């Protein structure tokens, strides 16, 4: 468990946060300028807070009340920077070995670095560079892994190339991973815990499925990005139609594409703006997925939109409708209605393993 409690005044900007990151991926999400990178830099020791305490399990990295401040190179953090920061005058092999040889063979094979070993950073693609940077961070046997928007500089294809590696990492290594991002689909795919930051403070935090399905998370995450994440199990494949059937506590969903083998657990993000609500069971509709749900929360924000929290079985979904529809349909908490989800609303970037 990584425990962070820090305060820092940076000009007019004040950072004041408390974050607890268990093993697994803790996503630090928020708009640019919200202080995300300062948090990971404080953990790495690249930024010294005015006051605070940072500890990993028993090891104390910083405790200003006792004047403790472990220097950067003794903190055993693996840091993957947005710009990779590979040493340009060394080969990939020497870059990897710079911090140590921990589990070298496996890291190299898992990240597919074998054929890159003799190359120099200048000759690598953006995706390859990030893979090397990740390998280098892992080979120094870190007790925490910090990733600061590692995919932000990559295009969609390169992102798709690296995401599976990070998913595998999350399930393999048993250390806390702090993952800074402003991309909600990365959160949906990777995170186990979510910390939403806003103006130097924690706006909300908790298990990713809980946080993302709160109606009040919508304005924090952004209307377009908002959407619940649910864990589902592959229940069948409709080969002729190219669809996968997913089962979860609220029923069954049909999603396009081959999403995995029978029984495999996958997580799906369902964008709030692609969920349609109906008071009666709809007839003659092209949408494949109709789920009976109960309204469990309504968040009336500014603007024309309203976020509606839905309970489907034990899982929570989120819908975003206009205030006008809400009033016309006379929706209220506790009502039993139907949620309609278009199968194509869920893109490949919203599906994780």
Partner 1 sequence: MTASLGPEEWAAIWLSLQVALVATVCALPLAVWVAYVLARKQFPGRQLLNGLVHLPLVLPPVVTGYLLLIIFGQQGPLGAFLHSTFGVSLAFRWTGAALAAAIMAFPLMVRAIRLGIEAVDPGLEAAAATLGASRTRIFMSVTLPLVLPGVLAGTVLGFAKALGEFGATITFVAAIPGQTQTIPSAIYGLLQVPGSEPAVVRLVIVSVVLAMGALLVSEWLAHRMARRVAA
Residues near partner 1 (CB under 8 A) = 44-46, 71-79, 81, 83, 85-89, 98-100, 121-122, 136-137, 140, 146
Assess contact for 131 and 113: CB atoms under 8 A.
yes
> Which lies closer to partner 1 via its Cβ, residue 107 or residue 205?
107
Measured from the CB atom, is 83 or 198 closer to partner 1?
83
Shortest CB 193 distance to partner 1, Å:
22
Burial-class residue 238 by CB neighbours within 10 Å (0-12, 13-18, 19+): exposed
- Other beta carbons within 10 angstroms of residue 285's beta carbon come to 12
**Minimum distance of partner 1 from residue 41's CB (angstroms):** 9
Cβ 79 to partner 1, closest distance in Å?
Answer: 4
Is 13 or 87 the residue whose CB approaches partner 1 more closely? 87
Least separation, in Å, of the C-beta of 119 and partner 1?
A: 13
Closer CB to partner 1, 46 or 296, in the complex: 46
Which one, 75 or 269, has the nearer CB to partner 1?
75
Q: Kindly give the residue spans of alpha helices, DSSP state H, lying in the chain.
A: 36-44, 92-97, 104-110, 126-139, 156-172, 184-190, 208-213, 218-221, 323-329
- Alpha-carbon distance 113 to 105, whole Å? 10
The candidate with the shortest Cα–Cα distance to 92, out of 67, 125, 66, is: 125
* Least Å from the CB of residue 143 to partner 1: 12
Q: At what angle do helices 126-139 and 156-172 cross, to 10 degrees?
A: 20
Distance from chain centroid for Cα 117 = 30
End-to-end CA distance of the chain: 23
């Amino acid at each position: 468990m990584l425990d962070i409690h820090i305060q820092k005044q940076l000009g007019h900007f004040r950072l004041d946060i408390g974050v607890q990151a268990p093993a697994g991926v803790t996503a630090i999400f928020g708009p640019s300028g919200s202080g995300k990178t300062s948090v990971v830099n404080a953990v790495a020791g690249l930024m010294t807070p005015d006051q605070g305490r940072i500890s990993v399990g028993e090891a104390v990295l910083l405790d200003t009340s006792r004047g403790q401040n472990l220097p950067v190179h003794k903190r055993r953090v693996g840091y993957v920077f947005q710009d990779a920061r590979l040493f340009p005058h060394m080969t990939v092999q020497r870059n990897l070995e710079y911090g140590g040889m921990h589990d070298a063979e496996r890291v190299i094979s898992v990240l597919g670095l074998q054929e890159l070993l003799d190359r120099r950073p200048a000759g690598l693609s953006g995706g390859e560079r990030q893979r090397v940077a990740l390998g280098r961070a892992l080979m120094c046997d870190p007790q925490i892994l910090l990733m600061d928007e590692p995919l932000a500089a990559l295009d969609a294809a390169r992102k798709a190339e690296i995401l599976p590696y990070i998913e595998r990492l999350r399930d393999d290594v048993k250390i806390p991973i702090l993952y800074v991002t402003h991309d909600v689909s990365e959160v949906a795919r990777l995170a186990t815990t979510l910390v939403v930051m806003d103006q130097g403070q924690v706006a909300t935090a908790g298990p990713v499925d809980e946080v993302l399905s709160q109606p009040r998370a919508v304005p924090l995450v952004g209307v377009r990005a908002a959407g619940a994440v649910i864990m589902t199990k592959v229940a069948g494949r409709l080969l002729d139609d190219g669809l996968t059937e997913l089962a979860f506590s609220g029923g069954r969903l049909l999603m396009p594409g081959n999403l995995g083998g029978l029984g495999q657990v996958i997580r799906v993000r369902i964008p709030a703006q692609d969920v349609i609500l109906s008071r009666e069971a709809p007839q003659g509709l092209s949408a494949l997925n109709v789920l009976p749900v109960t309204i469990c929360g309504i968040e009336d924000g500014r603007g024309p939109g309203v976020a509606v929290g839905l309970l489907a079985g034990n899982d929570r979904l989120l819908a975003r409708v206009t205030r006008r529809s809400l009033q016309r349909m006379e929706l209220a908490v506790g009502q039993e209605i139907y949620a309609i989800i278009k199968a194509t609303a869920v893109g490949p970037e919203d599906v994780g393993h």
